[in-house]
């Protein structure tokens, strides 16, 4: 049951992952980020999602250590995700990228390590590296990000260990139904980045009507729609009132009718790059 910020889903390998976390995409190293992550942990968040390319792992690490010192939590209470960047996809280079990430974070292990984008001809070697890290116990779970069904199928042909998570752009305008069903069927936990569509849905009249009905904000309704669909979600914010607001989503349920209304907003519309057509 999803009751609060510590509520977890169980991944295919038995590891427990919080349903809701905080993302730090595009937040620069520095006090703003340290404060935001420290505040989130104090407020009850247990999951933090970063990536090598965000260039902010040091600040995230600093916040983690501060929060542990001040809150009486242990490292094991937290769920930390990072991702290997495209330039580092390859067996040796992925292992090296992992080392760099945990050194910057100041951690002994990661809870989840993801391949950030499915670079053709490169992600299979990177996956072998993730399997090695997993077998060595240096990562509790491994997965991918921005993988379409055909990427997953290609990966699974040779994989010894199946991906436990697929983190993708997911919001009411991009409901990814086929991918959602495929992941369900194969025991892969779907996770949403950009759940609020970079703020573009926050004045949508249909969503406003639903939000008013539940006495919630539009952001809270969208986040709850994700969770009610069984999708792990990591909204990004550095503002304390938003960090609190985004987490206040466990005290209501959307009716089937309201879930359907939100489903009908789908237009297969992306705000981020298409995993079949990116050039970085």
Alpha-carbon span 130 to 90, nearest angstrom = 10
Catalytic residue among 54, 98, 123, 134: 54
Three-class DSSP category at 279: coil
Three-class DSSP category at 248: coil
The 3-class secondary structure across 210-226, one letter per residue, is HHHHHCCCHHHHHHHHH
Alpha-carbon span 17 to 139, nearest angstrom = 13
Count CB neighbours of 216 within 10 A: 20
DSSP secondary structure letter of residue 175: -
Provide the CA 112 distance to its chain's centre, in angstroms: 10
Q: How many residues in the chain?
A: 280
Question: What's the farthest any 2 CA atoms get from each other in the chain?
Answer: 53
Q: Is 54 a catalytic residue?
A: yes
Is residue 81 within 8 Å of residue 48, measured between CB atoms?
Answer: yes
Positions marked catalytic = 54
């Amino acid at each position: 049951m999803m009751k609060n910020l510590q509520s977890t889903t169980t991944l295919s390998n038995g590891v427990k992952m919080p349903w809701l976390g905080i993302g730090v995409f595009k937040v620069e190293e520095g006090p703003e980020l340290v404060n935001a992550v420290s505040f989130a942990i104090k407020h009850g968040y247990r999951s933090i999602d970063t990536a090598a390319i965000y260039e902010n792992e040091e600040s995230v690490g600093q916040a983690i250590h501060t929060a542990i010192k001040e809150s009486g939590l242990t490292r094991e209470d937290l769920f930390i995700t990072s991702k290997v960047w495209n330039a580092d996809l390859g067996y040796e280079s992925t292992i090296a990228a992992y080392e760099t990430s945990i050194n910057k974070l100041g951690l002994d292990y990661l809870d989840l390590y993801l391949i950030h984008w499915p670079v053709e001809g490169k992600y299979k070697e990177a996956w072998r590296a993730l399997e090695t890290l997993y077998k060595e116990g240096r990562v509790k779970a491994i997965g991918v990000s921005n993988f379409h069904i055909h990427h997953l199928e290609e990966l699974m042909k040779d994989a010894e260990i199946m991906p436990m998570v697929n983190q993708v752009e997911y919001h009411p305008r991009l409901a990814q139904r086929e991918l959602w069903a495929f992941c369900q069927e194969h025991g892969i936990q779907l996770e949403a980045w950009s759940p609020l569509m970079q703020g573009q849905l926050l004045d949508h009249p249909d969503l406003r009507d639903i939000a008013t009905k539940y006495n919630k904000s539009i952001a809270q309704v969208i986040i709850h729609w994700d969770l009610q669909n069984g999708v792990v979600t990591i909204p990004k914010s550095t503002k304390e009132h938003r960090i609190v607001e985004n987490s206040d989503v466990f005290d209501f349920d959307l009716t089937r009718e309201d879930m359907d209304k939100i489903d009908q907003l789908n237009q297969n519309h992306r705000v981020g790059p298409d995993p079949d057509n990116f050039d970085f």
